[in-house]
Amino acid sequence: MAIDTQTVIKIASLSRLKIDEDKVEATKDEFNKIINWVEQLSEVDTDGVEPMFAVNDTQLACREDMVVEGNQADKILKNAPIAEYDYFVVPKVVE
C-alpha cells in the first residue's frame, strides 16, 4: 500500500522528529521504497507460525524487591542538560 504525505507527517510526529517542508515529498518516496521492499514478506506462508520475540527460551529471573544501589541522585542528574534541586527540569506544562 502506498504511503501518502499525511502519513509521513503523522509518523514523524509520533517519532518526535521534524521534517522540513521541502523534504516531505522525498521522505515519502524513500519511505514507499522501503515499505514496498519489506512487503516481500507477504509471499511467505506463515499460517500457524508463532511469532518469535526472543531467541532463547529463558525465563526472566526474579529477585527480592530491594534497593541494590541507591542514594545516587547526583550521578543520575550528572548528565541532565538542566537540573535543579535534585530534579530534572522540563518546560512549563501547567498554565
Partner 1 sequence: MADITKLTIAQTLDCLKNKEFTSTELTQAYIKSMEDNRDLNAYVLETPETALQQAKISDEKYANGTNRTLEGIPLGIKDLFCTKDIRTTACSHMLDSFIPQYESTVTSKLFNDGAVCLGKLNMDEFAMGGSNENSYFGPVINPWHKERKLVAGGSSGGSAAAVSANICAAATGTDTGGSIRQPAAFCGVTGIKPTYGRCSRYGIMAFASSLDQAGPIAKDVRDCAILLNSMAGYDTKDSTSVNIPVPDFEKALGSSVKGLKIGIPAEYRPQGLNDEIASYWDKGIEILKQAGAEIVNISLPHTKYALAAYYIIAPAEASSNLSRYDGLRYGLRVNGNSIDDMYTNSRSAGFGKEVKRRIMVGTYVLSAGYYDAYYIKAQKVRRLIKNDFNNAFEKCDVILTPTSPVTAFPIGDKSMQENPINMWLNDIFTVSVNLAGLPGMSLPVGLSKDGLPLGLQLIGKSFDEETIFKTAYVLEQEAKFERLK
* Site residues, partner 1 (CB under 8 A): 3, 7, 11-18, 27, 30-31, 33-35, 37-44, 46, 49-56, 58, 60-61, 63, 72, 75-76, 78-82, 88, 90-91, 93
Q: Fill in the amino acid letter for 83.
A: A
Return the half-sphere exposure (C-beta side, CA atoms, 13 A cut-off) of residue 16: 0
> Cβ distance 18 to 9 under 8 Å?
no
CA pseudo-torsion sign 8, 13, 14, 17: positive
Min dist. Cβ of residue 52 to partner 1 (A): 4
Min dist. Cβ of residue 18 to partner 1 (A): 4
CA pseudo-torsion sign 17, 22, 24, 26: negative
Q: What whole-number distance in Å separates Cα of residue 28 and Cα of residue 2?
A: 9
